Amino acid sequence: MSDTIRFILNGTLREVSGLSPTMTVLQYLRTEESLTGTKEGCAEGDCGACTAIVGTLKDGAVTYQAVNCCILFLPVLDGKSLITVEHLKTLANGLHPVQQAMVDCHGSQCGFCTPGFVMSLAGMFHNNPSPSEREIQDALAGNLCRCTGYRPILDAARSVAHHGTVPFRPEQDSLRALKRDATFSYEAQGQKFFAPRTAADLARLLQEHPGATMLAGGTDVGLWVTKHHRALDTLIYTGATQDLHRIEETSEGLEIGAAVSHTDAYDRLAAYDESLAELLRRFASTQIRNSGTLGGNIANGSPIGDGMPPLIALRAKLVLRSAAGTRSLALEDYFIAYGKQDKKPGEFVEKIIVPPKAENLLFKTYKLSKRFDQDISAVCAAFALKMDGRKIVEARIAYGGMAATPKRASAAEAFLTGKEWSEETARGAMACLPRDYAPLTDMRASAEYRMTGAQNLLYRFYLETTAPQTQTRVYNYGG
């Protein structure tokens, strides 16, 4: 029998049945609830017009995060809370401070994008009542406005502190009552949706439904429906699998469950190096990072996924699981060819293990893209040199965007190993890169640009690890 989808919408319980499992939350709000403040712009998680707040019960408390409703499937809300722009006036007994600030600072003209901006800011101020300038701009990186320019919107964000913030009302008791201990099974219109609670149940479901589509954050699969109009008959959702949400420090290193969001994973990974923290900050937008998962990013095998090059350089490995058991392999060995990964039928990525950063390791990672925020890389590079004084004992170099898969630069690594880290050595390794890669020309960059950029990033790595005073970065936000 099919369960109903149970969630809290603007403080009121909803139990939904009969609607397609691939109906997006945006479609549901506008067509079933007549809550049209949540807008449809791009339908791919880019413009932020559909931003709303999702509340999730974690460790006895509710965390609230901004998400894109246009690529979020309705059954994913089961057991959660959803707050839309219409509810803010109820929380504040009038205009919410963010709404009032947008009025006072003339932050809206046509108004189409305004609800999304308001929800992004309301979510940020709930979690961080005193954000810095950089944090404000990061929170709005996933929202687009084509009328006002961003100055009055940023002025509104800066002025909210003068109005005071309004927290969301505690919903722990309501969400505890919706908590499920067994697999959530939902069926409608000939489609099935499963949300297992344990990794063992997930493995069993994949064995029983070998043709099922695995769904994590929906930041990729959601577009299969909204843009490609694909019919997905069976979905198996990893977001409710508690085993896959763990982040643990073990003797092997940092273990990150495959269902851990980018936001939570990057909070821990950022400690490895300042450059990694900067790369993670530029990965997608706040809304996408809150929904998408590191495991999903890896499992999809994109040749331009920003997470892979630094993890490969840091010797990360994957643990794959199926009903038959588990196995582990180095992350770089998971990628076989474009669209092909070393994943057997019924297997899924269970966790990623990142070894501790050695004290004698020089490590940096960089991203080249047309925009600073929310853009796909033309080239993403990561460099890790194990040193003995000035001598390179071992070199690991990985690039994304240079080949059909994230790929190590084996010729450059071999050249570097055993040599002193000097400008001559760095330039010699740069000359090896054409033997490692034959990049393509596409809409993001030409092959020539990619190769030149890849070589220059290696030289930048040399400069930043031998002469820290050298200014090789352009910082935004007065950095």
Domain boundary among 179, 195, 215: 179
Give the torsion sign (CA, 81, 83, 87, 90): positive
Looking at residue 30, what DSSP letter applies?
A: I
pLDDT value of position 166:
80
Can you give the pLDDT at residue 479? 37
pTM (predicted TM-score): 0.94
Q: Which of 137, 154, 179 is the last residue of a domain?
A: 179
For residue 386, the domain's CATH number is 3.30.390.50
Same domain? 284 vs 387: no
Total structural domains in the chain?
3
* CATH number of 48's domain: 3.10.20.30
Same domain for 158 and 20: yes
Are 20 and 161 in a shared domain?
Answer: yes
Q: Are residues 2 and 130 in the same domain?
A: yes
**Distances 144 to 41, 48, 67, 148, 206 between C-alpha atoms, Å:** 10, 6, 14, 10, 39
Does 58 fall in a domain?
Answer: yes
Please, which residues bridge with residue 213 across strands?
A: 235
In a domain, 276, yes or no: yes
Low-confidence ranges of the chain (pLDDT < 70): 1, 162-164, 468-479
322 in a structural domain: yes
Cβ-based neighbours of 310, under 8 Å, separated by 6 or more: 272, 276, 279, 363, 365, 382, 398
pLDDT value at residue 305: 83
Do both 343 and 457 map to the same domain?
no
Same domain flag for 331 and 410: no
Q: Same domain for 450 and 386?
A: yes
Same-domain check for residues 365 and 350: no
In angstroms, the Cα distances linking 44 to 54, 69, 379 are 18, 10, 23
Distance in angstroms (rounded) separating the CA atoms of residues 421 and 399:
20
The CA-atom distances, in angstroms, between 125 and each of 79, 167, 373 are 24, 8, 21
CATH at residue 303: 3.30.465.10
Does residue 434 sit in the same domain as residue 339? no
Same domain for 297 and 366, yes or no, is no
User: How many angstroms separate the CA atoms of 479 and 473, rounded?
Assistant: 10
Containing structural domain, residue 343: 249-354
- In this structure, the answer to whether residues 12 and 129 fall within a common structural domain is yes
- 345 within some domain: yes
> Would 185 be classed as within a structural domain?
no
Distance separating alpha carbons of residues 114 and 97, to the nearest angstrom = 14
- Strands, DSSP E only, in 2-83? 5-9, 12-16, 51-58, 61-68, 81-83
Q: Does residue 162 share a domain with residue 21?
A: yes
Write down the pLDDT at residue 471: 59
Q: Report if residue 9 sits inside a domain.
A: yes
Q: Does some domain include residue 410? A: yes
Q: Quick one: tokens of 76? A: 């994913």
The last residue of one of the domains, among 152, 179, 206, is 179
Residue 478 has a pLDDT of 40
> Is residue 436 a part of any domain in this protein?
yes
